[in-house]
Amino acid sequence: MQGFNDIGGLIIDMDGVLWHGDQALPGLTAFFATLRELKLPFVLATNNASITAEQYVAKLANMQVDIGIQEVLTSGMATAIYLSERYSPSETRVYVIGSAGLRQPLLDKGFILASEHDEEAVQLVVSGLDKTLTWEKLCMAALHIQAGAGFYGSNGDVTLPSERGFLPGNGATLAALAAATGVTPTTIGKPAPIIYQQALTLLSVPADRVIAIGDRLDTDILGAVQTGIRSVLVLSGISRESDMQALDYGPTWVMQDIQELTEALRQ
């Protein structure tokens, strides 16, 4: 396959690429065995900010794949990195809508997290997927933003695929807060290039030798295009090949799944 012999590293999405829910997709262990055999560095980069890197490592271990913490980059981690480069964590109070996958990286960077009902001034409001979202949390976040706090989102995914159908994602929360405050948030996850740029730094591989792997055109592939790196759309998740017809961008390659990708890497 043309262009597949100059790969120096991979940025890989997880849900829809490596698994569906808790079910590993066919070829998972062979895919990672091939990456190790070829000594191809990779970063598993996901918009999901609801769980921690440690939980992803444990999830893959349950699927018979061993990876290191340093090979995972969630949008929660990316948000903490981004903010720590622009604010002094020990002097910055943050009101967080979200779970441990967003809160823990911020704590690890030294930010001060405000409690749910704390009305004392904060410098930042950061929102990620929160499955215990309440009216009061929205009210507190909106009041802080209206008072001048910076407004950030770990990711802008409006919907969250589930066995029940498409549920409201963090993008829906951000939309509600934007409507209530008139302030547009800065989002860190895909398709914004921020998380990809951080993954490139972790890889220490030139961008023209890195390929992004994903199952969503509107996040994984658009993010790669906006970062200036090549990409593979795998058809094992959300997007279909026919979805590309209405877009003015697209992946470099389209493959059925990680099994086909593994074969291409081995050629």
DSSP assignment of 77-128 equals HHHHHHHHTTS-GGG-EEEEES-HHHHHHHHHTTPEEPPTT--S--SEEEE-
Condensed to tens digits (0 to 9), the pLDDT of residues 139-150 reads 999 999 999 999
Instruction: Using only the alpha carbons of the chain, give its radius of gyration.
Output: 19
Active site residue 15: yes
Domains of the chain: 9-47+190-266 (3.40.50.1000), 76-187 (3.40.50.1000)
The answer to whether the annotation marks 220 as part of a ligand binding site is no
Within the chain, residue ranges assigned H as helices are 28-37, 53-62, 75-84, 100-108, 135-146, 170-181, 194-203, 222-227, 258-266
CB 153 within 8 A of CB 126: yes
pLDDT level of residue 202 (50, 70, 90 thresholds) = very high
Please state whether the predicted TM-score (pTM) of the whole model is above 0.85. yes
Closest by alpha carbon to 216, among 154, 153, 164, 161?
A: 161
Number of H helices, E strands in the chain: 9, 15
DSSP 162: E
Condensed to tens digits (0 to 9), the pLDDT of residues 105-148 reads 999 999 999 998 888 999 999 999 999 999 999 999 999 999 99
The answer, yes or no, to whether residue 26 has pLDDT greater than 90, is yes
The answer, yes or no, to whether residue 162 has pLDDT greater than 80, is no
The answer to whether the annotation marks 215 as part of a ligand binding site is yes
CB 106 within 8 A of CB 77: no
pLDDT at 3: 64
pLDDT at 117: 81
Enter the tokens of residue 24. 């590993």
Active site residue 13: yes
The answer, yes or no, to whether residue 163 has pLDDT greater than 80, is no
pLDDT at 1: 64
pLDDT at 2: 63
Determine which one of 6, 13, 22, 243 is catalytic. Answer: 13
pLDDT at 187: 97
Q: What integer is the mean pLDDT of 67-85?
A: 98
Q: What integer is the mean pLDDT of 210-237?
A: 97
Determine which one of 6, 15, 220, 243 is catalytic. Answer: 15
pLDDT at 127: 98
Dihedral sign for Cα 81, 86, 87, 90, please: positive
The answer, yes or no, to whether residue 59 has pLDDT greater than 70, is yes
Residue type, 223: G
Q: What integer is the mean pLDDT of 35-62?
A: 96
Q: What integer is the mean pLDDT of 203-215?
A: 96
The answer, yes or no, to whether residue 30 has pLDDT greater than 90, is yes
The answer to whether the annotation marks 243 as part of a ligand binding site is no
CB 136 within 8 A of CB 105: no
The answer to whether the annotation marks 257 as part of a ligand binding site is no
The answer, yes or no, to whether residue 18 has pLDDT greater than 90, is yes
